[in-house]
């Protein structure tokens, strides 16, 4: 029964996907005498936590009840008060949690306080599922870097455009709409200057029901972004352009006057210091990035161990052409057995296309749940 109620808590936690950043998604279910009497989920950073919503719904029925929570209740004062205080005041008898909170401000303190007050505490129910639910939060709070998802779209023969550069559209409208759902749930979207110059993308979320526009990030070492570009002239979302210190000062000034933010980054042998960029974004509480290319940026991020998850769309088309580009540029590996591998693979059909998703093997993002030390390996 513990797993049954915890699954319910995990399900409702997902209602706020993409809306709680930089906080985790959390669900809570209160059970009294075999019946659910209250449930809630964290809806937006800075607003009441899941436990508070569930307690409000349960009212007096929370006394002597069991609460199932997908993440350890907090015990510190942030933008809201400690959930442990609310649970003690309500008189719950038992607290069942999926996983402890990797946030150093919590990290077991909430459970310790409940135990000290005589509350029965059960830990680790569906811990692996809870960790996967909050993979973005766990990566960010544990490393200070955002969780990065790489999206690619290519033909059956691995081309992202014809040899002329024409690329609209490789995938179906259904696949493109799915990409907009990804944009809606990420804090930021990142492309390179090559993609911007070729496609002049808007980098906004355009779903039938609307959606959240992510922060737009352009990797543009020499500040070549035109002032007429969509990401400059339209103000639907904030734009950040990452440039090198070698970029012409007059171009930087012109971009700044147009209302975009320009970040000066150091250079590495591979180009701009993208890890420095991630660190700056992480400090700004950007916990997730959707990378949409192009080939040069994709190669650099993979080489620098800065991609955690991959979404690869494959369209049933053959483009051909030895000069037609693929999704990842750079030198590549010298032998196939050196290729970057994915694990935990999932395959879906979306419209006429196939989506393959998976996690980069042995990288920070995939291993971070295990390094928390309190989550069993799945």
Both tokens assigned to 96: 């069942």
Burial class of residue 238 in the structure, from the number of CB atoms within 10 Å of its CB (0-12 exposed, 13-18 middle, 19+ buried): middle
Both tokens assigned to 180: 């907009």
Quote the CA–CA distance of 52 and 96 in Å, as a whole number: 16
Question: Could you tell me which residues come within 8 angstroms of residue 339 by beta carbon, excluding any fewer than 6 positions away?
Answer: 333
CB atoms within 10 A of CB 277: 23
Question: Could you tell me which residues come within 8 angstroms of residue 180 by beta carbon, excluding any fewer than 6 positions away?
Answer: 205, 206, 207, 211
**Strand pairing category for 66-69 and 27-32:** antiparallel
Burial class of residue 47 in the structure, from the number of CB atoms within 10 Å of its CB (0-12 exposed, 13-18 middle, 19+ buried): middle
Catalytic residue (choose from 3, 51, 177, 292):
51
Helical segments of the chain, H only: 2-13, 50-58, 83-90, 109-116, 127-133, 135-143, 173-185, 193-199, 230-233, 249-257, 274-283, 295-303, 364-371
Known catalytic residue at 266? no
Question: Could you tell me which residues come within 8 angstroms of residue 70 by beta carbon, excluding any fewer than 6 positions away?
Answer: 6, 9, 10, 13, 25, 26, 27, 28, 50, 97, 98, 99, 130, 133, 134
Quote the CA–CA distance of 215 and 230 in Å, as a whole number: 14
**Per-residue three-class SS string for 67-84:** EEECCCCCCCCCCCCCHH
DSSP code for 23: S
End-to-end alpha carbon distance in the chain: 21
- Asked if residue 55 lies in contact with residue 24, where contact means CB atoms within 8 angstroms, the answer is no
Cα dihedral 134, 107, 45, 90, rounded to 10, equals 110
Q: Which residues are catalytically annotated?
A: 51
């Amino acid at each position: 029964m513990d797993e049954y109620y915890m699954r319910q808590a995990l399900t409702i936690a997902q209602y706020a996907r993409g809306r709680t950043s930089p906080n985790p998604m959390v669900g809570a279910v209160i059970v009294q005498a075999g019946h659910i009497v209250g449930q809630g989920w964290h809806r937006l950073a800075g607003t009441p936590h899941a436990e508070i919503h569930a307690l409000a719904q349960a009212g007096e029925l929370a006394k002597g009840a069991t609460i199932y929570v997908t993440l350890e209740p907090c015990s510190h004062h942030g933008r809201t008060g400690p959930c442990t205080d609310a649970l003690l005041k309500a008189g719950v008898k038992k607290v069942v949690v999926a996983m402890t909170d990797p946030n150093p401000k919590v990290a077991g303190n909430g459970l310790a306080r409940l135990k000290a007050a005589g509350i029965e505490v059960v830990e680790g129910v569906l811990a692996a599922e809870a960790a996967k639910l909050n993979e973005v939060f766990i990566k960010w709070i544990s490393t200070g870097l955002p969780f990065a998802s790489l999206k690619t779209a290519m033909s059956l023969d691995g081309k992202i455009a014809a040899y002329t550069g024409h690329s609209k559209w490789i995938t179906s409208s259904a696949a493109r709409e799915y990409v907009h759902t990804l944009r809606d749930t990420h804090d930021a979207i990142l492309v390179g200057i090559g993609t911007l110059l070729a496609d002049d993308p808007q980098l906004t979320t355009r779903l039938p029901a609307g959606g959240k526009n992510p922060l737009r990030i352009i990797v543009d070492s020499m500040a070549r972004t035109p002032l007429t570009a969509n990401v400059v002239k339209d103000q639907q979302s904030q734009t950040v352009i990452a440039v090198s210190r070698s970029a012409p000062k007059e171009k930087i000034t012109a971009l700044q006057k147009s209302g975009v933010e320009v970040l000066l980054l150091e250079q590495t042998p591979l180009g701009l210091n993208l890890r420095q960029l991630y660190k700056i974004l992480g400090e700004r509480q950007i916990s997730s990035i959707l990378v949409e290319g192009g080939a040069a940026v994709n190669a650099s991020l993979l080489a620098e161990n800065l991609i955690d998850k991959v979404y690869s769309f494959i369209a049933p088309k053959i483009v051909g052409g030895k000069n037609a580009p693929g999704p990842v540029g750079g030198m590549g590996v010298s032998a196939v057995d050196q290729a970057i591998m994915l694990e935990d693979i999932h395959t879906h059909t979306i419209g006429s296309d196939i989506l393959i998703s998976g996690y980069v093997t042995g990288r920070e993002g995939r291993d971070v749940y295990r390094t928390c030390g309190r989550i069993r390996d799945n």
